[in-house]
Amino acid sequence: MILSQFQTVGRDLFTKGLVSSHSGNLSIRLGERIFITRRGSRLGCLEEHDLIETGLSKNDRNTPLASVELAVHRAIYRETPALAIVHAHPPHAVALSLTETEIVPIDTDGQSIMEKVPVLGWGMKVKPGALGDEIAQALKQSRVVLVHGHGTFAIGQLMEEAHNYTTTLEESCQVICLLKSLRGEVASKRGVSKQ
């Protein structure tokens, strides 16, 4: 049952282009244990050996096999009531994270579930597994956050809920990018016609 949850969400993230072949990671918390995707696993075709069970606070023999983002997942679980985390690399959201300090959805669907999404890590070279405490603190206010030039972390009580925040943010970012493009095209046409 746990595997099928991971497979469904992982496959959807991959087919929607929100993760590449070996990027992103998923986890759930069960008490003091975490089930997290294996380091370098392919979310689009997860198998049983791709799920690593390890401690919430303590390392064990499985810990080295876990995703490089394990420290971030642990920090989020310690600081929030989340029971599931989705970390993805949605391209429109990542693109906007390079120019914006927060994302404010302008589409109805985005506005219905998120007021604004903070972009963390400005002025830093963010490595995988870094900013765990900052991400966890930001997720106390928002159910999804962006890391500058890196990707999203979304939380929920169920993996499907975290997945929903991830996909809705990406759709909102697509709308913002399209609108910016249209505004640029209109401005460009106005500039040409004035000459």
pLDDT for position 194 = 46
pLDDT for position 193 = 46
pLDDT for position 125 = 80
Distance CA 184, CA 60 (A): 53
Q: Are strands 51-55 and 33-37 parallel, antiparallel or unpaired?
A: antiparallel
Domain range list for the chain: 2-189
The H or E element spanning position 174 is helix 159-194
Ranges of residues in the chain whose predicted pLDDT is under 70: 185-195
Distance CA 29, CA 154 (A): 14
pLDDT for position 186 = 57
pLDDT for position 195 = 45
Task: Kindly report, residue by residue over 147-177, the tens digit of the pLDDT.
Answer: 999 999 999 999 999 999 999 999 999 999 9
Q: What is the CATH number of domain 2-189?
A: 3.40.225.10
